Structure 1
Amino acid sequence: MKNFALMGASGYIAPRHMKAIKETNNNLIAALDKFDSVGIIDSYFPNADFFTEFERFDRHISKIKYDKNIPLDYVSICTPNYLHDAHIRFALRQGADAICEKPLVLNPWNIDALAKIEQETGKKIYNILQLRVHPSIIALKEKIENGPKDKVYDVDLTYLTSRGHWYYTSWKGDESKSGGIATNIGVHFFDMLSWIFGDVKQNTVHINTHDRSAGYLEFEKARVRWFLSINYDVLPDDVKDRGQRTYRSITIEGEELEFSGGFTDLHTVSYQEILEGKGYGLEAPRTAIEIVHKIRHAQPIGVKGEYHPFVKKPLVDHPFKTNL
């Protein structure tokens, strides 16, 4: 049984990590979050110590290590994106391996700096890339690898996940903290595409605003038109009519990739692979981090070239402009 600590216990994704720790028969000994709405811990580890201040959390980890001889094996990191780098460093310097949510970091050079900390401490950094362990995605990768060697596939990626006005007040609405739309909700899709279709040859951005981002990516084996948004208004009418607020679609050569199910256990599978020494390490997400970094700093070219059809959907003002 390995000992875990969890940083970022009150967020949306944290329960999946608690569940994964529990289902792999390990123990959560301490958790941290500035917010104390973390009753979900009782469903998994009611005896875990909980802290709202980093300094007390840090001290506690050291005390139980040296006073009670309780080692910390892993730190699971579910904190806001801009804190991942610092919290990974904390984990390694506490003598633990780090398991971090995506995006691993916001900038490609952060990966290089973390590699030095890995070498210095002898500890490992793992990234949760759950789409890489999704059965449908694995099957697609195998199909592409076994297909015609010189074929370049036409792909459309559409991911619309509606968010309310709270989003713009939270850290997620601050590009300096989240990395913007493409990083916050798209990085795992870009990782999946690069994992399947190879190196990036072209990265063009058509639009990049507070509520949507779209562009064209060319990989060794795919031409990808992509569109991401958090605006409810861009959802197709039939999706709205069904009372849904999320729409996810990936078409390859006009054929829909079905991968809507099977998400509930992917974190557990990821943890199992990490515990077996087969998890995705520091270098695995580099291409995706480079993609979103370039998107964030690119000058959008507008409606021209190989653009996603949704690019023509009307833009709306930032909601805060009407509330100030």
Structure 2
Amino acid sequence: MHNFALIGAAGYIAPRHLKAIKQVGGNLSVAYDINDSVGVMDSHFPDAAFFTEFERFDEYVADLRRANKGPDYVGICSPNHMHKSHMSFTLRAGAHAICEKPLVLCPLDIDDLQALEVETGQRIYSILQLRLHPAIVALRDKVASGPKDKIYDVDLGYFTSRGAWYHTSWKGLEHKSGGIATNIGVHFYDMLSYIFGPVRANIVHHRGEDAAAGYIELAQARVRWVLSINRKHLPAHTPAGQTTHRSITVEGEEIEFSAGFTDLHTASYQSIINGQGYGLEVVRPSIELVHKIRTAQVDSKRGEKHPDIAKVLER
């Protein structure tokens, strides 16, 4: 049985990690969060130690390690800007890190973490669950077996309404979350490069606090994309009462991956335990892309625009 620790136990994504640890036959020894709303732990690991002060969590992990009961893996669900420091802590504590996306905000941080992997002998893995989704795997296989010179037309539209709280939380602060494209889009960009190859061109049409849009050319795709958390941006064809609209089309054909989208953390954990997880170099291209989206000059004239971009561009 593998021992686990969890950082960020009160967060939105933590229940999926708790469920995954349980389903792979692991044991959660200790968890940490500055907030104490962690009753969900009772459904999985009621005997796990819990701390709201990182210093006490650190000390407890050290005690476990001295007793040869230290965690083999540490799941990291903390805010984006804390990922690097929490992964560094994990490796120095003698454990492997399993970190939510985006792994880091700056590509240079990957270099630092690679050096730390060499120094400690521990590994860092990212949760990239879309790579394990059957519909995405099938699409990748289809593209891989098709003509190598074919360029596919892809539209990515993701509208997920958020309230005013979003802009007050760390998610609404670019230096902490990385902005819209990073916080809610990074796994889509990773998925697209996984299927269609490396980025050849990147044009940003719009970048704001509540939305972003642009055009990307990959080795085998032309991608028009738009992301928004503003419910006023929902496309006119969104069903009444629905606050989220997610669509990916390839050559005009909708790729349905909503089913099972939230149930792939267990598969991710199992893959990591089996030694097949996604490491730092796999993550680098998507981190480089979102960093460029965050820093590029906005150019609304070049590149094809997503068909649902009109409301986003309204002033």
Indicate conservation of the 8 Å contact 1:6/1:77, yes or no: yes
Indicate conservation of the 8 Å contact 1:155/1:225, yes or no: yes
What is the alpha-carbon distance in structure 1 between the residues aligned to residue 165 and residue 32 of structure 2?
23
What is the alpha-carbon distance in structure 1 between the residues aligned to residue 228 and residue 74 of structure 2?
31
Q: Deviations over 1:293-315 (max 9, x none)?
A: 00000111125431112332155
Indicate conservation of the 8 Å contact 2:62/2:70, yes or no: no
Length-normalised TM-score, structure 1: 0.95
Name the structure 2 match of 1:217: 216
What is the alpha-carbon distance in structure 1 between the residues aligned to residue 312 and residue 282 of structure 2?
36
Q: Deviations over 1:55-75 (max 9, x none)?
A: 010001111221x33121000
What is the alpha-carbon distance in structure 2 between the residues aligned to residue 288 and residue 245 of structure 1?
27
- The answer to whether residue 111 in structure 2 is matched with residue 112 in structure 1 is yes
The Cα RMSD (Å) is 1.2
Indicate conservation of the 8 Å contact 2:91/2:116, yes or no: yes
Name the structure 1 match of 2:92: 93
Q: Deviations over 1:154-178 (max 9, x none)?
A: 0000011100000000000000000
- The answer to whether residue 50 in structure 2 is matched with residue 50 in structure 1 is yes
What is the alpha-carbon distance in structure 1 between the residues aligned to residue 26 and residue 108 of structure 2?
33
2:201 is paired with a residue of what secondary structure? strand
What is the alpha-carbon distance in structure 2 between the residues aligned to residue 240 and residue 31 of structure 1?
40
Change in CA separation of 1:167 and 1:122 when aligned onto 2, cut-off 3 Å? same
Name the structure 2 match of 1:310: 308
Name the structure 2 match of 1:261: 259
Residue identity in the other structure for 2:256: E
Unaligned runs of 5+ in 1: 318-324
- The answer to whether residue 11 in structure 2 is matched with residue 7 in structure 1 is no
Sequence identity percentage: 62
2:273 is aligned, of 252, 272, 275, to 275
Paired residues, what number? 315
**Quick check: 301-310 or 70-79, which moved more?**
301-310
- The answer to whether residue 29 in structure 2 is matched with residue 29 in structure 1 is yes
Q: Deviations over 1:9-67 (max 9, x none)?
A: 1111000000000000000010000000110000110001001011010001111221x
What is the alpha-carbon distance in structure 1 between the residues aligned to residue 306 and residue 279 of structure 2?
32
What is the alpha-carbon distance in structure 1 between the residues aligned to residue 237 and residue 15 of structure 2?
31
Q: Deviations over 1:116-152 (max 9, x none)?
A: 0000000000000000000000000000000111100
Name the structure 1 match of 2:155: 156
What is the alpha-carbon distance in structure 2 between the residues aligned to residue 281 and residue 116 of structure 1?
13
Q: Deviations over 1:192-222 (max 9, x none)?
A: 0001111110000000001100000000000
Residue identity in the other structure for 1:56: R
What is the alpha-carbon distance in structure 2 between the residues aligned to residue 168 and residue 240 of structure 1?
26
Q: Deviations over 1:84-134 (max 9, x none)?
A: 000000000000000000001001111011000000000000000000000
Structure 1 stretches of 4+ moved >6 Å: none
2:94 is paired with a residue of what secondary structure? coil
Name the structure 2 match of 1:60: 60
Residue identity in the other structure for 1:185: I
Name the structure 1 match of 2:233: 234
- The answer to whether residue 83 in structure 2 is matched with residue 84 in structure 1 is yes
Name the structure 2 match of 1:321: none
Name the structure 1 match of 2:136: 137
Length-normalised TM-score, structure 2: 0.98
Name the structure 2 match of 1:20: 20
Residue identity in the other structure for 1:271: Y
Unaligned runs of 5+ in 2: none
Q: Deviations over 1:257-280 (max 9, x none)?
A: 111101232000000100000111
Structure-to-structure mapping, 1:173-212, within 5 angstroms: 173-212=172-211
* Deviation, structure 1 residue 239: 2.5
Residue identity in the other structure for 2:50: F
Indicate conservation of the 8 Å contact 1:163/1:231, yes or no: yes
2:29 is paired with a residue of what secondary structure? strand
Name the structure 1 match of 2:101: 102
* Deviation, structure 1 residue 235: 1.1
Q: Deviations over 1:205-245 (max 9, x none)?
A: 0000011000000000000000000001111244351x221
1:239 is paired with a residue of what secondary structure? coil
